């Protein structure tokens, strides 16, 4: 990937609870991509106690540009994974809003699933747990994820704006009380709406001291 691509791509990890140890192994092998600030990952294990679980998962799933499915017998048997997360991920994939990457972590009958037509990982088709070297299996998986990210980056430069998947991961809504800086906002709006392809390394931002704003009340 080009060194000037520095926007983190949001990655949603969909997994069944019995496969959490395998998810943890995957996250270790994703460390290089994270240290390069190429991706940020999220999974249901990060949900804060007291949070609406379904809402949190739905929000993160809609925000993700890449969805990893950790496929196993437990995954296929899970209603929340198969009927909710996977089905919505496939819908977003077909709408070109996200990229779905099935990762076969344990042997299972997945060849007739909605994601059977997608290129799975590891590329040799052998489940991760069946490899003689687990590290080599995960290395193959991560190499595939890296290629998918590179493909998304090329798409972001060359594709029409309407076809671009989301690549941001800002977790906050727009502040309705933000005032001022109208001239700068207008300039940024003009640049973003120019209809020209922009590299991910061309961020637009407003800088200044936070919390200092003047409101005039008639």
User: Is 209 within a domain?
Assistant: no
Q: How far apart are CA 61 and CA 47, in angstroms?
A: 13
pLDDT given for residue 16 in this prediction: 98
**pLDDT, position 123:** 87
Does 183 map to a domain?
no
Q: What is the pLDDT of residue 148?
A: 94
Residue at 46 is within a domain = yes
**What integer pLDDT is reported at residue 200 of this predicted model?**
47
Residue 3 covered by a domain: no
164 to 4, 104, 135, 153, 158: CA distances (angstroms)? 19, 27, 33, 10, 9
CA 214 – CA 195 distance, rounded (Å): 34
Is there a domain that residue 177 lies in?
no
Taking the CA atoms of 169, 155, 103 and 73 in sequence, report the sign of the dihedral they define: positive
What are the C-alpha distances in Å from 76 to residues 25, 32, 87?
20, 30, 12
Mean pLDDT by 10 residues, the chain (218 residues): 61 98 98 95 96 95 97 97 96 96 97 95 93 97 96 62 50 55 70 54 56 48
Predicted pLDDT at 201: 45
pLDDT at 3: 43
Tokens of 196: 């020209």
Q: Is the pTM of this model over 0.95?
A: no
Structural domains of the chain, count: 1
- Which CATH number does the domain housing residue 89 bear? 3.40.50.10140
Q: How many CB atoms lie within 10 A of CB 73?
A: 15
- Domain hosting 135: range is 9-163
């Amino acid at each position: 990937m080009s060194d000037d691509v520095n926007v983190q791509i949001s990655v949603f990890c969909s997994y069944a609870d019995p496969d959490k140890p395998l998810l943890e192994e995957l996250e270790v092998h994703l460390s290089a991509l994270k240290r390069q600030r190429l991706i940020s990952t999220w999974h249901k294990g990060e949900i804060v106690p007291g949070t609406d679980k379904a809402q949190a998962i739905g929000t993160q799933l809609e925000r993700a540009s890449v969805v990893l499915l950790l496929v196993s017998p437990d995954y296929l048997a899970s209603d929340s994974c198969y009927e909710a997360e996977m089905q919505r991920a496939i819908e977003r994939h077909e709408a070109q809003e996200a990229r779905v990457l099935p990762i076969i972590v344990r042997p299972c009958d997945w060849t007739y699933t909605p994601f059977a037509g997608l290129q799975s990982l590891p590329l040799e088709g052998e489940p991760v747990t069946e490899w003689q070297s687990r590290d080599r299996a995960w290395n193959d998986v991560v190499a595939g994820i890296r290629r998918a990210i590179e493909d998304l980056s090329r798409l972001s430069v060359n594709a029409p704006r309407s076809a671009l998947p989301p690549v941001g991961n800002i977790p906050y809504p727009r502040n309705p009380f933000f005032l001022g800086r109208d001239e700068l906002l207008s300039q940024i709006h003009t640049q973003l709406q120019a209809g020209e392809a922009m590299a991910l390394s061309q961020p637009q931002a407003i800088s200044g001291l936070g919390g200092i704003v003047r409101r005039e009340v008639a």
